[in-house]
Chain A
Amino acid sequence: MRRYMAGLLVLVGLGAVSQEARAQEIQLTGPLAGAPAVRQLRLHREGRIEVAPSVSFTLLDEYQRTILAGARVNYNLTDWFAVGLWGAYGAVQSTTALSDHIQTVAEQRRSTEDGSLNDRLVRPNVGPKFKDQLGTMNFVLAPQLTAVPFRGKLSVFETFFVDTDAYFFAGPAFVGLKERANCGGGSGVDCSDFNTGYETASRMAIAPTFGLGFTFYSGDWMSFGLEWRALPFAWNTGGFDTKGRNPDERFPDGVIDEKDREFKFNQMLSISVGFYFPQAPRISD
């Protein structure tokens, strides 16, 4: 009982003290009152144009990896806000082990079980060259806004020190895609026809893009960048018939169309080298 009473008294005491504390006003005094956090700060961004050639690597791909070559152009209105454009071209595509496995199994099946139930079930989904029917990211064009809330420095091996900033960006992306063309149903194309059933068609997907990155300034006019980007949208990466039939259109319907597109949280990692114009940064007060 004494403990409870003591506890209550402490709580009451704390409540009383905290009420008084709320009434306090914090006043900064002394020679540093009102002074900026950093003086003579190199404003690497403010009023400068950044041109940053980049190489981007897609992550967590199911069937095909893409390496995109491109560049980012930013105009930095202030040291913490920029408007710009990122564009990249899908320069290199390479299949994953899963794609190679699917190709190998499909070839074996056709040579040993041609016309079997398995072969007939798979034929609308896997063509003579599986790689050729895969969804491919041809190019990306993304106008974007960049906010740079964090600015600092880092020490590497306690030997050299690098000005660094961390930024976030977002904007719409226009993605040039190549994916398996519509077939079956009313399209007039047989999805199992080795000659015409596995052709691809191009389209433009519009998707949000956002991410974050680090800039490491190696000098007044040059920097290195590391950036993670998300590009979520729905597409048919494997060229498979996976949806369309009820219940809830969750089963294959023998037709390749937009219903077979699946939402993917596409991601990529980019490295870049940035060049700044004018070449000399401003210095803050």
Chain B
Amino acid sequence: MNQARIGLCVAAGLLLAPGYALAQESENAPVDNEQVVDLDTEGSVDGAGEEDADLDGLGDICAIDPSACPTVDMDDAAERALGEQMYAVQQIYALRHRRFEIQPAWSFSLNDQFVNHPGPVLALNYYITNVMAVGVSGGYYFNNDLSFNAQVRRAARVAVPLNEYQWQAAVNFTYVPVYGKFAGFSDFIFHYDAYVVGGVGALSDRPYAVIDPTNRTFDFKPKLAFNAGVGLRIFFNRWFAAVLEVRDYIFNDELEATTIATGTAKTDESTWYGESKLTNNIQAQVGVSIFLPFSWEYRLPK
């Protein structure tokens, strides 16, 4: 309805404007006394400069509405504070408010030189506000025994308990305190944001039987796991972005016992586990973000 009213007003204005325009001199209208006008010289046309100076450029207004003529002082008007509102960043490029985010990624171990735990990760978030989201995430792990492990064991004859991971899942809270934009090569502009994420869930793992592989076989067990991380999102458009995230999964891990019980006790499962250790599994995650719905309407035009 408002749009219709605005449209009517604009149409009415357009109808009025040509009416005034008709009163102007046509470019092709014959000129009685043809003169060469030097625009760099004041008052080059007889009388015209003086008249303009007198009216401070209000000649047209005075001609249209003589009652308004003396009430406008152009100097005062020019000095008047406008009080306009300026925006440091106008219209955030990619609004997140009330949008879903699907975030598939691939993760890499950052802090485990003995066993690498790469794997796919998927996160689903819903943005309650533009800067806060709740979501769930989960991932599956592959496990690669690294050559460093063999080197240390051979050189120092040190048995280091190792664990293999199976999966992790968590509910998360995301906060986006930082957003901005970069001009690339002074040519194109792209937008980015940085977020912090934290959550709680479970991580399933088990020890590798490296101390006594003959007698010990371990089953996967889920453990309570907390996670905290930071991420950087670079937007390619308003619904698609690249994501780089570093997240620490913190859990109390059960390690294989470094000593072997004697006699029949060595087959007793209760003797297989050694110390429990608070473990920080730091993962770098590289992926993409897809925001749904793809588009939205800004509440304000600016």
Contact = CB atoms under 8 A, between A and B. Distances in A.
A106 to B, nearest CB: 7
A128 interface: no
Contacts of A150: 182-184
Interface in B140-156: 148, 151-152, 154-156
B186 A36 contact: yes
A240 B180 contact: no
B15 interface: no
B183 A38 contact: yes
Contacts of A240: 151, 155-156
Given A37-B187, A240-B151, A122 B157 contact: yes
A45 B182 CA distance: 16
Where chain B touches its partner, the secondary structure class is mixed
Contacts of B131: 158
A200 to B, nearest CB: 17
B181 interface: yes
Given A62-B113, A101-B160, A152 B155 contact: no
Interface residues of A, number: 37
Interface string B64-81: 000000000000000000
Contacts of B111: 60
A36 B160 CA distance: 60
A243 B180 CA distance: 50
A244 B54 CA distance: 100
Interface string B175-190: 0011111111111010
A152 B178 contact: no
Where chain A touches its partner, the secondary structure class is mixed
B169 to A, nearest CB: 27
Given A60-B113, A156-B177, A240-B151, A106 B156 contact: yes
Contact of B89 (A36, A37, A149, A161): A161
B110 interface: yes
Nearest to B189: A37
A240 B160 CA distance: 17
Closest 7 CB pairs of A and B: A154-B180, A152-B182, A240-B155, A150-B182, A125-B155, A102-B156, A152-B181
8 contacts: A36-B186, A102-B156, A121-B157, A122-B157, A150-B183, A153-B180, A155-B179, A157-B177
Given A102-B158, A153-B89, 12 more contacts: A37-B189, A98-B152, A105-B156, A118-B157, A122-B157, A125-B155, A126-B155, A151-B183, A154-B178, A154-B180, A164-B182, A166-B182
